[in-house]
Chain A
Amino acid sequence: MARMKFLCDAERCIECNACVTACKNENEVPWGINRRRVVTINDGSPGERSLSVACMHCSDAPCAAVCPVDCFYTTDDGVVLHDKDICIGCGYCFYACPFGAPQFPTTGAFGSRGKMDKCTFCAGGPEADNSSEERRKYGSNRLAEGKLPLCAEMCATRALLAGDGDTVSNIFRERVTWRGSSGLTWGWGVAYSKPGLRRGRGVEGKAAGKD
C-alpha cells in the first residue's frame, strides 16, 4: 500500500499561491477557509524561502489523538481523514496540530465554529467515493479516480510534490544531489544569465561538473 505524503521543495517554491487557489477551486471549500497556505520566511530578504503547507497526513496524527469525539481515521493510503457527521467543531485539533491545518467556518451564533474542514489529500471522506454527499462535505475525491491532489498537479515549478512517500523522496533526493546552485542565487543575473558571477562567488553548487 502506498503511504501518501506531501513534500514542498523550498528551493523551488516561488510563492505563487496557485496551489492554494487550485485547492479552493477543486474542493469548493467554504468562504474563509483555505486548506492550504503558502508561508514565506524572511520575506523580501536574501535567502527568503517559501513553503506550501497543508495537512501533512501524519502517521501518528495529534488531531486524531486529541479529538474529544474521535472523528479521525487513517485510510489504507496513509491519508488522515475525518467524519464531519461526528465532528462537533470544538477546535481542539487546530490547537494540537503543528501545521495549523484544521480550519473552521464561522457559521454559528457568537462566531462559533462550524464543523472542521481540512486537506483530504483530495481523497474525500467516509461517504461512498465521488458521491454527491461526499463532494458536498469534503470536496473532490481525486485519489479514487487514480489522480493525485490538484495542488501538486498544478504546481508550476514542481515545488509541491504529492504521492507515495518513496516516490516523492526519490524525486527529492535526486534534486538535492544534482541541484544546480547552492541557494545563493539571489538576483536575476546570478540566477539566470551570468554563470561566471556564480562561479566568482563560489556558488556553483554540486552540479558544476555535470555539464
Chain B
Amino acid sequence: MSLPEILIIWPGSPVLSLIIEFVIAILLLYLARGPAHKAIYSLSTIIHSGLRLMARSVLLGEKRVVERNKEVLLATGAKAVERLIEREFYRVDAVVKRDMSGYPALQHKLGDQIARIDEDYRESTEVPVPSPDWVKAVDTLAKLPSKGDSWIANILGEIHKTAQAQYKNTMEEYRKAVSVRHSLLEKMMPYWRRLSQTLDQVDKTIIGLHERSKVIDSRMAEYEDIRNQSEKAVRMLTSSAMTQFFISALVLLIAIGGAVINFNLIALPMSEMVGGGSYIGNFKTSNIAALVIILVEVAMGLYLMESLRITHLFPVIGHMDDKMRIRMIWVTFTILLILAGVEAALAFMRDRIAADMQALRHALATVETAEPVSSWIPTVGQMVMGFILPFALTFVAIPLESFVQSSRTVFGSAVASLLRLIGFALRLLGNVVRYIGEFLVNVYDLLIFPPLWLENVIRNREQHTEVSDIIVNEEVS
C-alpha cells in the first residue's frame, strides 16, 4: 500500500478524504493549541536565553581581552616613554658633564677677564690733574686794562704769558692722559670680545639644556597621561602600534626578499660541499644547509643588536654586565664576519660552477650559441653581495622587535573585535529565535483560524447574553 492510499479514508474520493483529514487536523491542532503554544514559547525561550548567555560570556571575554590589551599597551607605552626619558636624561647628563664640568674654570676665567676690564676701566676713568686755582686769578689779572701804564702793561703781559704757558702745559697733559685712556680702552677690546664669546658659549649650552628640558617636560606629560590610563594615551598608543606593525611588516618583507636572494646565492655552491644529490626529507641537503647559514646569520644579528642594547628581545643578554656584554658583541661580530667571508667565497664558487655549467650546456647544444660575455663584474658583484647581505640581515632585529611588540596590540585588538562581532551575532540570533517563536505561534493560530473564529463568536454571544441578563436584572430590581 503506497502512501497516498493510506491518506485516502473515503474510498473513491481523494478530495473529500483530504478535506476530512484537514478538518480533523485543524480540530486536533485547536485542541492542542495551549500546550503547543507553550512548547513553542519554551523552545524559543530556551534557545534565546542560551544564546544571550553565550553572547554575555563572549562579551565578558571581549571586555577582559580589551582590559588586558589596555594594560599591555599602557605598560609597553610607559616602558618606551621611560626609555625615551632616560635617554634624554643621559643626553642632559652628557651636556652637563661636557660643558658644566668646565664651569669653575670658566667662572675663574670670566672673573679674571672682568677684573682686568674693571682695572682698565678704572685706569681709563682717571681724569687729568686740573689746572691750579690761582690760574683763574692770574688770567683775570692779565686781562685787566693797562690804561697806558707800560709797567703795568709789562706785568700784565708777563702774567698773560705765564697763563698761556700754563694752558699749554695743561692741554699737553690732558692730551697725554686721553691718549693713555684710549690705549687702555683699546686694550680692553679683546677682553670684551673674549668675554662676549664665553658668554655666547654659555648661552648656547643653556639654550640646549632648555630645549632638552622642554622635550623632557613633554615626555613627562605623556608619561603622566599613560600612568593616569587616560583614553587619549590609549588611542595614541594604539595608533602608534598599528603604524609600527605595518611599517615593521613591510621592512620584514624586504628583509625576507634579501634573505631569498642570499639563499639563491649560496644554495648552488653548498651542493659542492654537502653533495647535490642528498636529501633530508623532501628537501635538498644543500638547500637546508644554505638556509641554516642564513638563519644562523639572522640569529647572530639578533644577538649582536641585543648586546648593543639596540633591541630588547632577550632580557638575559640585556641584564648581562658590561664586560660580558662587550665580549658577546665581539663574539657575535666575529662569527658574522666569518660567515660573511664564507658567503663571499661561496658566491665566488657559485660563479665558477655556473660558468662551468654554461660551458657544458653550450657543448651539449646542437645549435651554435653566442659566447658568453666574460667579465669580472658579476663575480665581484656576487662576492660583495655575499659579504654585505649577512650584515644587512643583522638589522632585521630592529623591525622584528617592533613587529613582535606591535603585533601583541594589533592581534589583541583583532581578537577583541572578533569577540565583539561574535557577541553581537549571538544576541541577534537569540532575538531572531525569540521572534521566530512568536511568529510560529501566530502561524499556528492562522492554521486553526476557523475554530478560533467560532470560539470568538460564541464567546462574544455569551458575553452579550450575560450583559443583557445583568441589565434586565438591574431593571427588575
The yes or no verdict on A and B being binding partners is no
Binding site for B on A (CB under 8 A): none
